[in-house]
Amino acid sequence: MYFAALLARTEDGWEASDTELDDVETLSDLTDLAREASEEDTVLVLIEQEDAWFGVVRVDGEEDPRIYVSDAAAAARSSYGEILLTDELLGRDPGDDDADLDSLDLDGTEDGEPDDANDSEDDEEDESVSGEIVSHSPVGDREILADLGVSEKELLALDEGDALSTIAEALGAAEVLETVR
């Protein structure tokens, strides 16, 4: 099960809105969605797949989006996670990835949920969209929330099950996030 929300910082504090990602196919689409919430202020897109991974996309005005994903391998098995896992984020050269959705190795599971028979194989590494090995480690900008009160160390220590609530609490936005949950 997925949850996605936008947190937009305004003069009056944080405003939250739940968001449908059904029409979002690329990081550019997601960035545009965030900019619609606020063109000038900081907007955070928070995405989680229950107990598997979470991601944060930060959009500050017209700057390029900043991304953090808690578990690259788990996100690689997710259609929403794939949006966040750019070549740059995974340390690949742009253009090397000729893969598409047909080349995904979903190991017979749906929505990126682990297959119990393959758990031992999936513990350390999984294949990404391009067939390259992607580890079960965090990727992206670990300082994405540092100026907002969540240090790199705190971000890395978050548990996938309650990460978004913990982030929202640190930002002073727990109540507004819970209203859209």
Rounded distance, CA 135 to CA 45, Å? 23
Task: Show the tokens assigned to 98.
Answer: 């000729």
So what's the pLDDT on residue 92? 81
pTM of the prediction?
0.79
So what's the pLDDT on residue 108? 45
So what's the pLDDT on residue 106? 45
Please name which of 12, 149, 138, 142 lies closest in space to residue 85, comparing C-alpha atoms: 138
So what's the pLDDT on residue 38? 86
The residues, ordered by sequence, that sit 6+ positions from 28 with a Cβ below 8 Å of its Cβ are none
Distance of CA 70 to the CA centre of its chain: 7
What letter would DSSP give residue 146? G
So what's the pLDDT on residue 91? 85
Task: Show the tokens assigned to 38.
Answer: 């606020």
So what's the pLDDT on residue 131? 53
So what's the pLDDT on residue 181? 84
SS3 at position 10:
strand
> What are the residue ranges in the chain where pLDDT is below 50?
97-113, 115-129
